[in-house]
Amino acid sequence: MAKKAKKTGSVYQRNKIWWIKYYSKGQPVYESSRSTREADAQLLLKRRCGEIATDRFQGLGAERTTLDQLFDLVVADYKEDGKRSLDHVQRRLKLHLRPKLGSVKASDVGTSAIRRYISARQHEQAKPATINRELSILKRAFSLGSSHEPPMVLHNPKIAKLEEDNVRSGFLEKADYDRLLNELPAYLKLALVIGYHVGCRLNEVMSLRWSDVHLDAPEPSFTILAEMAKNKRHRTIPVYGGMLPAMRLQKAERDDTYPTLAYVFHDGTGKRLKTFYKAWGSACKRADLNGKLFHDLRRSAVRNMIRAGIPENIAMAISGHKTRHVFDRYNITTDGDLANAGAKLAQYLAAQPTGNDA
Q: Give the confidence band of 6 by pLDDT, cuts at 50, 70, 90.
A: very low
Check whether residue 189 and residue 264 sit in a common domain: yes
12: part of which helix (H) or strand (E)?
strand 9-14
Instruction: Look at residue 153 and tell me if it is in a domain.
Output: no
Check whether residue 127 and residue 267 sit in a common domain: no
Residue 136 pLDDT more than 50? yes
Q: Nearest Cα to 2, choosing from 52, 34, 41?
A: 41
Q: What angle do CA 165, 310, 190 make, to 5 degrees?
A: 80
46-60 pLDDT tens trace: 988 888 888 777 666
CATH number of the domain at 331, please: 1.10.443.10
Half-sphere exposure of 41 (CA within 13 A, CB side): 26
Give the Cα separation of 202 and 298 in Å (integer).
9
Final residue in a domain of this structure, among 112, 147, 182: 147
Listed range (19-28, 232-241, 291-300, 330-339) with the worst mean pLDDT = 330-339
CATH number of the domain at 87, please: 1.10.150
263 contact partners, CB below 8 Å, separation of at least 6? 206, 207, 208, 209, 210, 272, 273
Instruction: Look at residue 178 and tell me if it is in a domain.
Output: yes
Check whether residue 45 and residue 94 sit in a common domain: no
Check whether residue 224 and residue 190 sit in a common domain: yes
The answer to whether 137 and 97 have CB atoms below 8 angstroms apart is yes
Instruction: Look at residue 34 and tell me if it is in a domain.
Output: yes
The answer to whether 255 and 266 have CB atoms below 8 angstroms apart is no
Specify the DSSP class assigned to residue 148.
S
- Measured N-to-C along each axis, helices 186-198 and 277-286 cross at an angle, to the nearest 10 degrees, of 80
Final residue in a domain of this structure, among 131, 147, 163: 147
Q: Residue 2 CB: number of other CB atoms within 10 A?
A: 11
Instruction: Look at residue 154 and tell me if it is in a domain.
Output: no
Check whether residue 309 and residue 198 sit in a common domain: yes
Q: Stretch 280-300: mean pLDDT, rounded? A: 92
Check whether residue 193 and residue 328 sit in a common domain: yes
Instruction: Look at residue 168 and tell me if it is in a domain.
Output: no
Residue 29 in 3-state DSSP? strand
Strand order in the sheet with 9-14: 3-5, 9-14, 17-24, 27-32
Identity of residue 198:
V
Check whether residue 200 and residue 296 sit in a common domain: yes
Q: Report the domain count for the chain.
A: 3
Check whether residue 202 and residue 87 sit in a common domain: no
Listed range (18-22, 51-55, 267-271, 316-320) with the worst mean pLDDT = 51-55
Residue ranges making up the domain that contains 221: 174-337
Instruction: Look at residue 251 and tell me if it is in a domain.
Output: yes
pTM for the whole structure = 0.57
Q: At 20, phi and psi to the nearest 5?
A: -130, 150
Q: Where are the alpha helices (DSSP H) in 199-242?
A: 202-206
Check whether residue 235 and residue 310 sit in a common domain: yes
Give the Cα separation of 41 and 38 in Å (integer).
5
Check whether residue 40 and residue 106 sit in a common domain: no
Q: Residue 145 CB: number of other CB atoms within 10 A?
A: 23
Helix%, strand%, coil% for the chain, nearest 5: 55, 10, 35
Final residue in a domain of this structure, among 147, 162, 190: 147
Check whether residue 293 and residue 196 sit in a common domain: yes
Give the highest mean pLDDT range of 3-17, 108-122, 149-163. Answer: 108-122
Instruction: Look at residue 161 and tell me if it is in a domain.
Output: no
Residue 4 pLDDT more than 50? no
Check whether residue 31 and residue 85 sit in a common domain: no
Give the Cα separation of 192 and 280 in Å (integer).
10
According to DSSP, the β-strands at 235-238 and 221-224 are: antiparallel
Instruction: Look at residue 354 and tell me if it is in a domain.
Output: no
pLDDT at 232: 78
Q: Give the confidence band of 334 by pLDDT, cuts at 50, 70, 90.
A: low
